Amino acid sequence: MKKLFHPVTITLLVLCILIVLPLLLKRPEPILTDAQLREQALSTTMKPVPKTYEALLKVVDNPENPLSKEKIALGKTLFFDTRLSRDKSISCASCHNLEEGGDDNLPTAIGFHGGANPFHLNSPTVLNAALVKTQFWNGRAKDVEEQAGGPVQAPFEMNMTPKEIEKRLNADRKLTEQFKQIFGTEKITFENVRKAIGAYERTLLTRGAYDRFLEGDDNAISAAAKRGMTLFLTRGCKGCHGGMSVGGQSMQKFPLRRYLSEYIGLWFEPNIRLKESPFPFVNVGGFLGKDDAQIFRVPILRNVTKTAPYFHNGSVDKIEEVVRIMSKYQVGEEFNKEQIADVVEFLKTLEGELVAY
């Protein structure tokens, strides 16, 4: 019997379908007015950061650790106090530079005696961290108070124990008196050290152009940023990166999608080449998130343009590549260069200055 189609013809036809069909099915770019864009954000949990101390209390106050200006001031002192590290060379601020995005801009945290995090974990920002639901990449701490006790005890970070911290700080009479006035205890306890630092961290919120736009200033952000914000809101990014912090409200699988082309080297290649990393970048450190299930706390996007390198192991340097990866593997629709540029312009509007509460 005569063949109706040559194998090469069939292959070319399949290739054409695979290339053209996605283009035909591609969704048109939505166009929203400033009012519609603002309303779509505000109708979710994407709210502006409060301007006043009174408004701050309604957002971040902790019933288990009520805020007071005295406690916040004490926490600020401890945040910059190198006595919390064994060799008195490291403070909380060493890995969380408040002037540079609230992190250390290193691929992995460097601690006691120059030791690196054994899982090559990137330091998350402390800015706006009080707005999120869990702390650390695997979400193992419920709040900033609990998180504050982790790095000081980690042998590769500050390398101290609660007893050693209590002994060292109780030798300071002035500091002991401050704790007594605030917490009503005769001695400084490690629990109250955590609470004081946590109280200070609850005030580390930032405001910028994004907040002004949400509050009604149409000229606060550019046309490109508005296009990027539209993509962010309509393509599914806000599903994970929501809340006042624009992220950190949930634990999510990453990557959510994988593609056959990543597992197979070339079509019709005799030897199938499997991709070594479970991520779309090098698996430095081997960390796999909560329960080793590739589930991670969603990063905070406020000030994200200042916190390179990115992802849990700091394997990606450029924010543009981050947007491409997230659009492809989480959204399921890889953004083109123009879309990526617009989203980056939106992310720049999330940069902000610390509010002087």
Give me the active site residues, please. Answer: 157
Residue 137, Cα to own-chain centre: how many angstroms? Answer: 9
Which amino acid is present at 95?
C
Contact predicate 79/92, CB 8 Å: yes
- Please name which of 107, 72, 104 lies closest in space to residue 90, comparing C-alpha atoms: 104
Question: What's the rounded Cα separation, in Å, for the pair 153 and 164?
Answer: 10
Structure tokens, 210: 């994004």
Contact predicate 206/127, CB 8 Å: yes
First to last CA, the chain: 84
Residues 6+ away with beta carbon under 8 Å from 214:
38, 41, 42, 46, 47, 48
Structure tokens, 322: 């981050």
Contact predicate 130/205, CB 8 Å: yes
Question: What's the rounded Cα separation, in Å, for the pair 117 and 344?
Answer: 29
Strands (E), the chain: 206-207, 251-253, 295-297, 353-354
- Please name which of 310, 333, 332 lies closest in space to residue 321, comparing C-alpha atoms: 310
Q: At what angle do helices 162-170 and 173-183 cross, to 10 degrees?
A: 110
Residues 6+ away with beta carbon under 8 Å from 321:
none
β-pair partners for 310? 316
Structure tokens, 350: 């999330």
- Please name which of 203, 192, 98 lies closest in space to residue 148, comparing C-alpha atoms: 192
Structure tokens, 295: 């589930």
Element containing residue 9 per DSSP (H, E):
helix 7-25
